[in-house]
Structure 1
Amino acid sequence: MKLLWPLILRRAPGFLLALALSVLTLAAGAGLLGVSGWFLTGAALAGTAVAFELFAPSSAVRGLSFLRIGARYGERMTGHAVTLAMLSELRSTLFARLIPLVPMKGVAGRTGDFVARLTADIEALDMVMLQAVLPLLTACTAAAGLALMLWLTLPEAVPVGVAGFALTALAVPLALVLGGRRIGAATVSASSDLRVAALDGIDGHGDLVALGATEAGMERFNAAAAQLRVARLAEARRVALGPALAQLGAGLTMAATLWLGLEALASDRISGPILTGVLLAILGLFEVTGPILRGAGRIGSALAASRRVSEIVTTRPLIRDPLAPARLPGEGPLVIDHVSYGYGIDRPVLTDVSFTAQPGERIAILGASGSGKSTLLGLITRLDDVNAGAIRFGGIDIRDATLADLHDHIALLTQDAPVFIGTVRDNLRIGSPFADDATLYTALGNARLAEFVRGLPQGLDTWLGESGATLSAGQARRLCLARTLLSPARLILLDEPTAGLDGATEAEFLGDLLTATEGRTLVVATHAALPRAAVDRVVRFEDGRLVETERR
């Protein structure tokens, strides 16, 4: 749980307010039950032997009722608002840490596992504050209040009352947590396995159908679902045990207090109405043990989820900024100097590749699939570092610059660049967050998409749907190109920009590159037949080696 404490401390005022309201709610509830018990018992006895004033206690009952309702509402609103803000920051932190880990070699992980850590694992942490930390702190205050109440009314019951409360609110939950860690870890692991199986099946649906392997995919998914069901049922049994133990603890404590109270009543050391009020106030204070015991059954899952999230947050990315970074010039040549790269000794991808792209020059990299084109573009944007040689921009080795500075100068459009769910404006502003409408339409015009967007019902604010479902393949690629062109980078890298386009759309798209990238350096990796005027030079790759350079 070390991961949460810095986030909690940054929101300490909000959590302290939630704690104060929680204590006030509990005190009002206990006071309401205590006063009601004293009031009703006293009123019942008033007709026989006791003179009883009705108006003050009835007013107290009404006041405590309204106080409890208001404090409960404020506590829920405050506690949930601060907790959700904390989890939102945690998601942003985790996502920011995932970005440098995933490209190229990345870390040992699967898409479904990363999704599970971003969603289910963080969601499992929301109960830590609401069902563990805040109720436990409230319980500590309640224990002090219980001891004070018994000391003032029935001193001999102080040890019994405090011990019963402590066992129910602290010792029993601790035992549940310690006993549930294995079950919690199994639940989180099974949940992650199920998400991996689901996303693998979705991403690879076409291949599964083509290979006749859909039944095998379903069997794997069903096995993961069955494993999660078993883990969830085991956890549910522990969660269900909580309320039963809370009622048992409250009942035994009240019974023990009643036993001592009857002796005090017989010796006239306490009155009947006060004894009734004390017993019902104890019942009200035990209300706080319910959330603690319910949450204790899920703490094992929260601990396992916290460890999985911490693994990502504390993992150091392979690519890091230098301690004393150099500033890249505004423009300059891109020099690939005897670059070699591979995923291991037995898996070379690039071997001794060298060429130079001058400012404003357009270069096409051609080659068969697997020849290293995409890998080279990834190395230029420093998704990984070269094994040998160097890549320089404007005379500076890119490893000597910060990643932010490098990406301000070099932009990459990958072959699988996505259209994100959102509006046209949302997608474009990824390339330039503060661009105005005129700038956005200029980029769309360079990508030959401006007239289409102007014709949409809401223009730039038109919703595009999941993965740009409302766009054709050509329109989606042009939107991604416009997004890339909005970058201030002077060097534009395009990786298979016409992937998935038909022949006519591909020819139009490539023909527009000359206009779209005017004034910038362009390096494009493609299989397509390029119009002769689209580039200045062609570099050909075979098996990771540069074999030919042709000027046009």
Structure 2
Amino acid sequence: MRQDLMRIWGLWATRRGWLLGGLAVAVLSALSAVALLALAGQGVAAGVAGAGGAVALLLTRPMVLIRPALRWAERMVSHEATFRALADTRVWFFRRLAERMPAGLGHTGAGDARARMIADIEALDGLYLRALLPAVAAAAVVLVTALLLGANPGLAALVALPLALAILLPIWLARSAAPAAEAVTEARGAVHRAALDPLLGLTETLANNAETRAADRLAAATGAMHAAERRLSRRSALGGSLGTLCAQAALLGALGWALSGSGGLGLAVLGLFLALAAGETLALVPRAGASLASAGAAARRLLALADAPPPVLEPDAPAPLPRGNTLRFEGVTFSWGEGRDTVLRGLDLEWREGERLALLGASGAGKSTLARLMLKFAAPDAGRITLGGQDIAGLAAPDLRGRIACLAQDARIFEGSVAENLRIAAPAAPDAALWRVLAQVGMAEFIRSLPAGLDTDCGEGGSRFSGGQARRIALARALLQSAPLLVLDEPGWGLDAETERAFLAVLEEATRGRSVLLITHRLVGVERPDRVLRLVGGRLFPAAA
């Protein structure tokens, strides 16, 4: 746990100024409470002894205003620091996922990734807000308390030692609460999966009357999560009780010392007031153990996924892109992991520059695997892939993908405007370029007819449009990239026969002048490929058009 949390703290290095500023203000806020009650104690003791004490009581007046101001500043600075640090963590985690899962979330799943991206990263605020911040402030209070009572070592020990023990409690509680925190973190991920998966496939869920079973699974996952949370909350409650006990022990120690008559009244009253001031600051410290355990469990889950090895290692010194665009597979063998069936077996393929090549094959034959390999979403087990004679293993993936545009089988239209969806491929593209590619796919007139035009919101998954319209927008996005090589993976997938033929006819016209690789399980008759190959048993064979 300690190493995981230190990794997270290291990720926050760019926000170190804000984080240290929050710690400084928290210390000042805690010490202001000590100063307020120390002055009040001195004033009361002096008054009881008939020595006046007006000056000490007079000084409490500005402290009454300073303390809430510092409390406000503490909240503002510490929470701003936390928000910035967590935002950085989300961006870092997203980038790590993109590097390690370029072909999709795979076995991780959207629900689990969502849980890690949101719930687990939110839990990391416990590292700073509910553990480090109160611990540092409490340590400062204990140190100042010991110094102020240093004139009498016995009184200092009676008050400061129980308070110091309260600061050490979170370390013990974090270790003992770690299993419960791990269970809570895993249970929350299960709830996210149980809730999100049926919603992502809501049509299938309802069509199969499975909503009751889905609700039962969600209820079971929620019940398990609540049970785990109750176990963790009991640890937190134990920490709070032990912390209160330590604070009360400090107060009783000061009171006992005062009643014993071992020293002057002024020092006795000061000890009592300091114990009261420290008790307020230390009240939350022991509970930090549970927060620390939760942050540690969340950090472990995040780092486990973020540290997964990427499927393709980037070259240390990428080679420059070659001039040519002929792409070749040379003796490529590939499988999706150890123990799984071999998809490609010594496959040879030449996709010549300017060629319109159709690749046919049954579902599961490995057609889409070819596209993923040429985009460096995976690497061959044997053999090599070259572009313009250069092994793509030596090319930077972003450079390579700038040469190869891809319309994936499940190309997604994202929530946002039409313009935002198109500019994913070319962020700086002017409106004129957007209208040009929309005209190429036969969507310009329809988009112009909409009240918002290019600013029309597509809805989640492109729900604003029909299936054929959404596929045309996805094709327009691929065309906007202006890459010389264009991979079309099952472009008619999910469309009815009439819509598919119309779309493929548009596609045939829109992609003229480019090298096109058409990956499909069948030809419908409107395509005009220069060459047709069929993928069977991991090898390619000529086929009739």
Fold shared, TM-score > 0.5 on shorter chain: yes
User: 1:70 matched to which residue of 2?
Assistant: 69
In structure 1, runs of 5+ residues without a counterpart are none
User: 2:488 matched to which residue of 1?
Assistant: 494
After TM superposition, the structure 1 stretch with the greater mean CA deviation from structure 2, 230-239 or 90-99, is 90-99
User: 1:350 matched to which residue of 2?
Assistant: 344
1:256 aligns with 2:280: no
User: 1:160 matched to which residue of 2?
Assistant: 158
Q: 1:451 to 1:85 in 2, by over 3 A?
A: farther
| Distance in structure 2 (CA, Å) of the matches to 1:496 and 1:302 | 44
User: 2:534 matched to which residue of 1?
Assistant: 540
Give the CA deviation at 1:205: 4.7
1:333 aligns with 2:326: yes
2:473 to 470, 475, 479: 479
Deviations 1:17-58 (A, max 9, x none): 111110111111222233345556767x5xxx837475x556
Contact 1:447 / 1:478 at 8 angstroms: preserved in 2? yes
Give the counterpart letter for 1:370 in structure 2.
G
Contact 2:425 / 2:478 at 8 angstroms: preserved in 1? yes
User: 1:247 matched to which residue of 2?
Assistant: 244
Give the CA deviation at 1:367: 2.5
User: 1:6 matched to which residue of 2?
Assistant: 10
After TM superposition, the structure 1 stretch with the greater mean CA deviation from structure 2, 103-112 or 428-437, is 103-112
Give the CA deviation at 1:209: 5.2
Contact 1:498 / 1:528 at 8 angstroms: preserved in 2? no
Contact 1:497 / 1:526 at 8 angstroms: preserved in 2? yes
User: 1:444 matched to which residue of 2?
Assistant: 438
Give the counterpart letter for 1:191 in structure 2.
R
User: 1:315 matched to which residue of 2?
Assistant: 308
Q: 1:34 to 1:312 in 2, by over 3 A?
A: same
Contact 1:197 / 1:220 at 8 angstroms: preserved in 2? yes
Task: For 1:173-322, list aligned pairs within 5 A.
Answer: 173-207=170-204, 216-264=213-261, 269-271=264-266, 275-322=268-315
| Distance in structure 2 (CA, Å) of the matches to 1:293 and 1:142 | 15
Contact 1:541 / 1:547 at 8 angstroms: preserved in 2? yes
| Distance in structure 2 (CA, Å) of the matches to 1:413 and 1:212 | 34
Question: Tell me, what secondary structure is at the counterpart of 2:283?
Answer: helix
Q: 1:40 to 1:261 in 2, by over 3 A?
A: closer
Give the CA deviation at 1:409: 1.2
1:24 aligns with 2:28: yes
1:35 to 33, 39, 44: 39
Q: 1:65 to 1:536 in 2, by over 3 A?
A: farther
Give the counterpart letter for 1:222 in structure 2.
A
Give the counterpart letter for 1:29 in structure 2.
A
| Distance in structure 1 (CA, Å) of the matches to 2:105 and 2:537 | 23
Q: 1:472 to 1:42 in 2, by over 3 A?
A: farther
Give the counterpart letter for 1:176 in structure 2.
L
Q: 1:211 to 1:73 in 2, by over 3 A?
A: same
User: 1:102 matched to which residue of 2?
Assistant: 101
Q: 1:33 to 1:531 in 2, by over 3 A?
A: farther
Deviations 1:373-422 (A, max 9, x none): 21211112122122333322111121221212211111222111222222
After TM superposition, the structure 1 stretch with the greater mean CA deviation from structure 2, 343-352 or 79-88, is 343-352
| Distance in structure 1 (CA, Å) of the matches to 2:532 and 2:132 | 64
Contact 2:375 / 2:400 at 8 angstroms: preserved in 1? yes
Give the CA deviation at 1:62: 3.6
1:370 aligns with 2:369: no
User: 1:148 matched to which residue of 2?
Assistant: 147
User: 1:139 matched to which residue of 2?
Assistant: 138
| Distance in structure 2 (CA, Å) of the matches to 1:394 and 1:238 | 63
Deviations 1:423-456 (A, max 9, x none): 3333222212232333333333333333333344
Aligned residues: 540
1:431 aligns with 2:425: yes
After TM superposition, the structure 1 stretch with the greater mean CA deviation from structure 2, 394-403 or 16-25, is 394-403
| Distance in structure 1 (CA, Å) of the matches to 2:158 and 2:57 | 31
| Distance in structure 2 (CA, Å) of the matches to 1:57 and 1:463 | 66
Q: 1:127 to 1:379 in 2, by over 3 A?
A: same
| Distance in structure 1 (CA, Å) of the matches to 2:522 and 2:79 | 54
Contact 2:254 / 2:272 at 8 angstroms: preserved in 1? yes
Q: 1:107 to 1:481 in 2, by over 3 A?
A: closer
Contact 1:100 / 1:106 at 8 angstroms: preserved in 2? no
| Distance in structure 2 (CA, Å) of the matches to 1:407 and 1:199 | 31
Question: Tell me, what secondary structure is at the counterpart of 1:292?
Answer: coil
Contact 1:370 / 1:543 at 8 angstroms: preserved in 2? no
Q: 1:413 to 1:288 in 2, by over 3 A?
A: farther
Contact 2:357 / 2:530 at 8 angstroms: preserved in 1? yes
Task: For 1:502-521, list aligned pairs within 5 A.
Answer: 502-521=496-515
| Distance in structure 1 (CA, Å) of the matches to 2:528 and 2:143 | 80
Contact 1:235 / 1:298 at 8 angstroms: preserved in 2? no
User: 2:91 matched to which residue of 1?
Assistant: 92
| Distance in structure 1 (CA, Å) of the matches to 2:426 and 2:177 | 48
Give the counterpart letter for 2:224 in structure 1.
Q
Contact 1:33 / 1:280 at 8 angstroms: preserved in 2? yes
After TM superposition, the structure 1 stretch with the greater mean CA deviation from structure 2, 124-133 or 274-283, is 274-283
| Distance in structure 1 (CA, Å) of the matches to 2:41 and 2:444 | 74
| Distance in structure 2 (CA, Å) of the matches to 1:291 and 1:459 | 55
| Distance in structure 2 (CA, Å) of the matches to 1:527 and 1:104 | 21
Give the counterpart letter for 2:223 in structure 1.
A
Question: Tell me, what secondary structure is at the counterpart of 1:11?
Answer: helix
Aligned-pair Cα RMSD in Å? 2.8
Give the CA deviation at 1:256: 0.6
Give the counterpart letter for 2:158 in structure 1.
V
User: 1:384 matched to which residue of 2?
Assistant: 378
User: 1:122 matched to which residue of 2?
Assistant: 121
Give the CA deviation at 1:59: 5.2
Deviations 1:120-159 (A, max 9, x none): 221211110111112222222222111112125x543111
After TM superposition, the structure 1 stretch with the greater mean CA deviation from structure 2, 376-385 or 480-489, is 480-489
| Distance in structure 1 (CA, Å) of the matches to 2:321 and 2:405 | 14
| Distance in structure 2 (CA, Å) of the matches to 1:456 and 1:25 | 57
After TM superposition, the structure 1 stretch with the greater mean CA deviation from structure 2, 525-534 or 539-548, is 525-534
| Distance in structure 2 (CA, Å) of the matches to 1:463 and 1:532 | 32
| Distance in structure 1 (CA, Å) of the matches to 2:465 and 2:41 | 68
Normalized against structure 1, the TM-score is what? 0.89
Give the counterpart letter for 1:252 in structure 2.
A
Q: 1:234 to 1:345 in 2, by over 3 A?
A: closer
Q: 1:158 to 1:190 in 2, by over 3 A?
A: same
Contact 2:311 / 2:377 at 8 angstroms: preserved in 1? no
Deviations 1:147-177 (A, max 9, x none): 112125x54311112201111122x222211
| Distance in structure 2 (CA, Å) of the matches to 1:444 and 1:173 | 60
Give the counterpart letter for 2:195 in structure 1.
A
Question: Tell me, what secondary structure is at the counterpart of 1:3?
Answer: helix
Give the CA deviation at 1:104: 5.7
